[in-house]
Amino acid sequence: MNDALPEVVSEQEWQKAFDAMLVKEKELTRARDEVAAARPRMPMVRVRPTSGGGCTTSTGAADGGSRRGPGAARR
């Protein structure tokens, strides 16, 4: 990475560069919002009851356990 300082430009050139960066940042924000909105609509996998007859808790759901696909690796 180049540690040199950025080029010094006029206010007009800076404003043009700033406006272009702002457009990119807004695109990124919209894309991130789209992904965040889609996350709760992800399909779920039915959780099978345990064979031991013990209590089933929602702790697995807290870390995304109920949304893991078949054969997904555990964290």
What does each of the 75 residues of the chain score in pLDDT, given as a tens digit?
Answer: 568 999 999 999 999 999 999 999 999 999 999 999 999 999 999 998 877 665 555 555 555 555 555 555 554
Please check whether residue 73 lies inside any domain of the structure: no
Contact 68, 46 (CB under 8 A): no
Contact 66, 44 (CB under 8 A): yes
Please check whether residue 74 lies inside any domain of the structure: no
Q: Which domain holds residue 25?
A: 10-39
Please check whether residue 2 lies inside any domain of the structure: no
Please check whether residue 27 lies inside any domain of the structure: yes
CA gap 38, 65 in Å, rounded: 18
Please check whether residue 34 lies inside any domain of the structure: yes
Q: How many domains does the chain have?
A: 1
DSSP classification of residue 66: G
Please check whether residue 24 lies inside any domain of the structure: yes
Please check whether residue 33 lies inside any domain of the structure: yes
